[in-house]
Amino acid sequence: MSKYGQRRHCHVTHKRANMTSAAVQESNRNMPDMVLQSARSFDEIPGPRSYPVIGGLVHIFPGGQFHGMHPNDKQSLCQEMYGNIYKEVLVPGMEFVHIFDPVDIEKVFRGDQEFPVRQAFFTLDFYNRKYNKQQGLLTSQGENWHRIRKNVQQKMLRPKAVTAYLPEQTIVADELLEHVRKLKDDNSEVADLRPEFDKYAAECVGVVCFNKRLQAFDDDPDSEAANFIKAVDTIMYILSTKYTALHLEEMEKADDEADGEHGDLIPYLLSKTSLSQEDVLTVISEFIFAGVDTTSHHLSFMMYLLGKNPEVQEKLSEEIQANIPNKQQITSSILSKMSYLRAVTKETHRLLPVAPGNVRTSSQDLVLSGYHVPAGKNIVMHHTWIMLQDEHFKDALAFKPERWIRNNESHHNAHPFAMLPFGHGVRSCIGRRLAEQEAQIAIIKILQNFKVEYTGEPLQTVHSITVTPISKMRFRLTERYL
């Protein structure tokens, strides 16, 4: 079992890089000869032995050294055995370079070229091919990725566009609060808050994408929202296309006034960008796929850590009270003043990240940990491991938001690429501002009203596409009467 009693692993595709030999040669030319010559060869990178035909599968079969081991524990073991870089052939033709040093991670990201290649989300890629025949932001590469990204990102990343959703998100957070209040038992406990956060995240996505309230907090198990959440939980992608398609039908005559900032993202994308209806359908489906579970889990983790650390919770509650007296309307300028809230958010990403790591296909030749890694190799970056090492974050298993407060004596001195919860560069998470705003509003509302205590079983997580809490998350919520 890994530190924190969690089970984690990175999801990567099993596809080979599709770099042309011309591109590889071009990148070879960019590598200074001296650096390359002094590096050890790619073949010398250590790692589990690979055999003809079965590759490295022998290691995971019964009797193999990794048999029955959770992938995250396997990574810790491999780091111990091989150091900060190792290579692995799963089956012939599927080769991965694993890295554990932030200095190398920086080289990988800085080596990204105009269109960074991230071959991941292989299940989504599969469903796209099977049902939609269209790749979106998560799975497309090259010019196609760039065409979609440039059209969408100004409405997803521009601060003004994101804060335009604040009032609606606040209304949804108020509803979450009232709903949670109803769920409290005689002991002021709610048996499992996690599904309620799923509903909150689904409702918020509904507001942004469909300008539609899904009524997720209705208790009807057959309601549209309940089905929507079930869809997100199971084969999120396939069914979510249905909702997008319905909305597209409603919006057939795209509104000329659409600005993409008031729940009219779909008409905006249709009328003000060069994206086709099929592109828009894919992009919106991806937002549901990538935006519900991630934010809900992040919120669950933040609540868990606050519920287990009352002194941090009190400090945050004081900051909330000082900045938002009388529960006045939350605004972007108020949020920007709340440095402790931001620190709590970051510390949550460090201790309980939603994305277990990241992947890139190297765009150019690199020297990583002294070895030559040619362009076109699939590289897996293990942030989850790095973030829990004392070497990078002193007293790494402790929940200490102060380490993110500038000029605080506890401020961390970790490498800037040691923690990248939303990835890095032009291909980083497009929903990050929305996600953090959404989670922070919910936390503010909850702490304005309740003292929070985690009374559930020890937290267990598994890795599906995201790191997912699987234990029931029981909380005692005592009214604050502020």
Which of residues 45 and 446 has its CB atom nearest to ligand HEM in the complex?
A: 446
The Cα–Cα gap between 366 and 373 comes to 5
Which of residues 118 and 194 has its CB atom nearest to ligand HEM in the complex?
A: 118
What are the residues whose beta carbons fall under 8 Å from the beta carbon of 455, sequence distance 6 or more? 189, 307, 474, 475, 476
Q: What angle do CA 187, 191, 195 make, to 5 degrees?
A: 145
Which of residues 129 and 394 has its CB atom nearest to ligand HEM in the complex?
A: 129
429 is in an annotated binding site: yes
* Least CB distance to ligand HEM at residue 434 (A): 5
Which of residues 122 and 422 has its CB atom nearest to ligand HEM in the complex?
A: 422
Largest CA distance in the chain: 72
Sole residue written with tokens 């920086």? 106
360: which strand partners? 379
* Least CB distance to ligand HEM at residue 445 (A): 18
* Least CB distance to ligand HEM at residue 223 (A): 22
* Least CB distance to ligand HEM at residue 32 (A): 26
Which of residues 89 and 99 has its CB atom nearest to ligand HEM in the complex?
A: 99
> What residues make contact with ligand HEM under the rule CB under 6 A?
118, 137-138, 149, 286-287, 290-291, 294-295, 298, 354-355, 358, 421-424, 427-431, 434-435
* Least CB distance to ligand HEM at residue 205 (A): 6
Which of residues 76 and 358 has its CB atom nearest to ligand HEM in the complex?
A: 358
Which of residues 48 and 469 has its CB atom nearest to ligand HEM in the complex?
A: 469
- Binding-site residues for heme: 429
- Binding-site residues: 429
